Chain A
Amino acid sequence: MAVLPILTYPDPRLQRVAEPVIDFGQNFQTLVDDLLATLRVSAHGVGMAATQVGVLQRLVIVDVSSKANIKHHGLQVLVNPEILDWQGFASGREGCLSVPDYIGTVIRAKKIQLKAQDRHGQWREYAMEGYEARAVQHEIDHLDGKLFLDRLVSKKRDLMLRQFI
């Protein structure tokens, strides 16, 4: 397993759209292991997309189990993930290993229904919420060439909305 260098903004490769994974062979398994190793050594990271290490394949890993008192599915390798449905919206703070020294407020769906293949190509469905749902939405954005910087909202506007919604 190798720890891969993480691309940082404004590297243009972060804004490219990733291709679906078709081949789940040895090269792909090595990529999954390398991505896991890279996430493990990253400070406070709870997820990573292959795009962040310069590989344009639709692969993300998420593991929010380090957060106390939240629902989660543990470490998940999500290949070709698709959000089937979402409910509610909540603002929250996000940072990104590819955008150092910056944290911003982003609105995401509170709950999502997700379909994804595992590292061996088996399709699975997930119901995710809260922190885990936020992490998955953030990572899927990477696969579509989007950063949380593209979704920032004004904190002041968020403050006003909280009073009226």
Chain B
Amino acid sequence: MKHWYMLTLVGKDQPNIVAHTTRLLYQAGCRLGEANMNRLGGSFTVMLMVEKTLPKTALKALLQPVVERFNLSLHVVVIEGDLHQHQIPNICVRVHGADRAGIVAQVTSALAQKGFNILELCSDVGGSQEQPFYILQIEGVATAPLEELQQALADLRDVQVEISAIDACIM
């Protein structure tokens, strides 16, 4: 099995972070794997698989110019690649309501008790400063029946919860 690095970069959002980072890696002969890059609040976050062809210290040194230029935090860990082994989510959970503390913890804890494995979670805070609302979407693999998951989240009465099967159409 090939080993890779998982590289994370976080800093204040500004143009050219991705271009500078990936250009440095490309020029050094690094191959990239899967990536997830998002603006979260005012920050830009990069999670990027980089094939392990350089020592960790060399990879960090390679990226030092981009870290300094954009004032980023860099973290690098060795991972197993596991490419081409996508798990297919079979359940989607959508939650939205007036923002308050604890929504994510309550939803994910209830799902975890039912053996739900989260493959992807994304959330957004919309509305205004005075009236923020929270939107949460989780996709994952459930072995418990849909009705059991609905029951597990039934106590969350102050937010809207929708649980549906993900039926991927293979054509």
Contact = CB atoms under 8 A, between A and B. Distances in A.
A102 B86 contact: yes
Contact of B137 (A46, A96, A155): A155
Contacts of B167: 67, 92-93, 131
A135 B86 CA distance: 22
A103 B88 CA distance: 8
B96 A134 contact: no
Nearest to A68: B167
B2 interface: no
- Kindly state the interface size class of chain A when it binds its partner: 20 to 34
- Kindly state the interface size class of chain B when it binds its partner: 10 to 19
Contacts of A135: 169, 171
Contacts of B94: 159, 162
Contacts of A160: 124, 126, 135
26 contacts: A46-B171, A48-B171, A92-B167, A93-B168, A94-B168, A94-B169, A94-B170, A95-B168, A95-B170, A96-B170, A97-B171, A101-B85, A101-B86, A103-B88, A131-B167, A131-B169, A135-B169, A138-B169, A138-B171, A139-B171, A155-B137, A156-B137, A159-B94, A159-B137, A160-B126, A163-B126
Interface of A: 43-48, 67, 92-97, 101-103, 131, 134-135, 138-139, 155-156, 159-160, 162-163
Contacts of A96: 170-171
